[in-house]
């Protein structure tokens, strides 16, 4: 069973390469989730069974400074969901004869009955204060250490993209395997069709707030723009300027094609988005979700390596920043990505 966290679509999309590898290696795969994550996985794997599993339903604040407070207020409820999914898993194992669990950042999906693998790129959870980071890492490791192994989608040594996020000073006690980067995409040559592709993602209300800001300023940009809203299953239509084309969601193959057809990708600084765009060798304008310290840290790291151009949501001026993103010098490295053939050895080392 593979189950991604319901924090945006990134956890579900990065698991696609893991699911493909399991299928290619002869495993029968069951998926677990709900909402947009389940819709996305169902569109990619229409023949696989998806069992309903309640999400954490993390809510964001509308302000950067209220982000941490809003998260802290949700801790008791999320802890209740974690305990509930732990009980749910034991029953599901018996009902479906499951012999391996792969949990992408869902803390409760572990059991003593069978091996359980935890996927995360955040062994360090960034926070405004060092003392807070230490507390959050202790809590993080408390849950991670209850699993059989931990898979980190990054490189083990120099040249990694996660920095301190994936390479803390102290690792969890269980087996930690760096599995290379994850992407459902592969680079290929495409004729340019769009100047900018805006790839929205992440929890509300910040997703919609960025969308509203970009659309309000889109008329000042005369070049061709494709807006992908990150809303699988939605039938909503928007009124937009003539130079803007809108898609609520695109399945993997179509999304890969339009991303390759765009000159610049405008996106959040989510780790999965970064991995996938690196696999396509794309130039990026990264706009971190306000208050999400992991994305803010990652954007700065990538800018220093000349992998992206970045600005904050509050300071974003589409006409100016879109142009700057075109003019900046990029140095996108060649990086190793996880492939189907890596799975057998990875499972052997992990279990």
Question: If you write DSSP's letter for every residue of 6-35 in order, what string do you get?
Answer: -SSSHHHHHHHHHHHHHHHTT---EEEE-H
Judge if 10 and 31 occupy the same domain.
yes
CATH code, 265:
3.40.50.2000
Query: Which pLDDT score is estimated for 194?
Result: 95
pLDDT for the residue 76: 77
Pair 161, 263 in one domain: no
Q: Are residues 160 and 260 in the same domain?
A: no
Q: Write out the residue range of the structural domain in which residue 68 sits.
A: 2-181+338-350
Whether 163 and 208 map to the same domain: the answer is no
Question: Is there a domain that residue 277 lies in?
Answer: yes
Domain count along the chain: 2
Share of the chain above pLDDT 70, in %: 96
- Residue 132: which pLDDT band, with cuts at 50, 70 and 90? confident
pTM tops 0.85, yes or no: yes
Q: Do 97 and 140 belong together in one domain? A: yes
**Averaged pLDDT for residues 65-87:** 78
Q: How many Cβ atoms sit within 10 Å of the Cβ of residue 34?
A: 15
Q: Is 189 a domain residue?
A: no
Classify residue 187: in a domain, yes or no: no
Task: State both tokens at 156.
Answer: 């083990």
Residues 200 and 171 in one domain: no
pLDDT score recorded for residue 9 = 83
24 and 169 fall within a common domain: yes
Q: Has residue 264 been placed in a domain?
A: yes
221 shares a domain with 120: no
Look at the alpha carbons of 320, 322, 323, 327 in this order and tell me if their dihedral is positive or negative: positive
Which pLDDT score is estimated for 57? 74
Q: Measure the CA–CA gap between 291 and 330, rounded to whole angstroms.
A: 26
CA atoms within 13 A on the CB side of 105: 21
Mean pLDDT for all residues in the chain: 91
Higher pLDDT, 164 or 66: 164
Establish if 332 belongs to a structural domain.
no
The dihedrals phi and psi of 181, each to the nearest 5 degrees, come to -80, 155
333 lies in some domain: no
pLDDT in tens, 304-345: 999 999 999 999 999 999 999 999 888 888 899 999 999 999
Q: Would you place residue 274 in the very low, low, confident or very high pLDDT band (cuts 50, 70, 90)?
A: very high
């Amino acid at each position: 069973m593979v189950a991604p966290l319901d924090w945006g679509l990134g956890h579900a999309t990065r698991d696609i390469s893991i699911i493909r590898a399991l299928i290619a290696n002869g495993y029968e795969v069951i998926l677990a989730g709900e909402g947009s994550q389940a819709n996305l996985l169902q569109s990619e794997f229409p023949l696989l069974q998806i069992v309903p599993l309640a999400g954490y339903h993390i809510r964001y604040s509308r302000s950067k400074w209220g982000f941490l407070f809003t998260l802290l207020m949700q801790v008791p409820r999320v802890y209740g969901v974690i305990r509930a999914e732990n009980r749910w898993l034991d029953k599901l194992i018996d009902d479906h004869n499951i012999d391996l669990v792969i949990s992408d950042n869902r803390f409760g999906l572990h059991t003593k009955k069978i091996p359980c693998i935890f996927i995360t790129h955040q062994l360090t959870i960034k926070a405004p204060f060092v003392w807070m980071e230490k507390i959050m890492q202790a809590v993080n490791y408390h849950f991670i250490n209850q699993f059989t192994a931990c898979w980190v989608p990054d490189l083990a040594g120099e040249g990694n993209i996660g920095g301190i996020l994936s390479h803390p000073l102290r690792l969890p006690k269980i087996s930690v395997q760096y599995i290379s980067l994850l992407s459902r995409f592969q680079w290929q040559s495409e004729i340019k069709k769009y100047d900018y592709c805006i790839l929205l993602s992440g929890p509300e209300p910040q997703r919609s707030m960025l969308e509203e800001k970009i659309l309000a300023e889109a008329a000042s940009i005369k070049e061709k723009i494709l807006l992908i809203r990150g809303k699988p299953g939605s039938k909503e239509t928007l009124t937009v300027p003539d130079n803007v084309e809108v898609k609520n969601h695109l399945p993997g193959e179509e999304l890969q094609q339009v991303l390759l057809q765009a000159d610049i990708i405008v996106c959040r600084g989510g780790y999965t988005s970064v991995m996938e765009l690196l696999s396509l060798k794309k130039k990026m304008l990264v706009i971190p979700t306000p208050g999400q310290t992991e994305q803010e840290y990652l954007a700065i790291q990538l800018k220093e390596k000349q992998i992206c151009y970045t600005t904050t949501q509050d300071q974003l001026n589409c006409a100016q920043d879109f142009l700057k993103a075109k003019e900046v010098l990029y140095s996108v490295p060649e990086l190793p990505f996880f492939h189907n053939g890596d799975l057998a050895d990875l499972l052997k080392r992990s279990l």
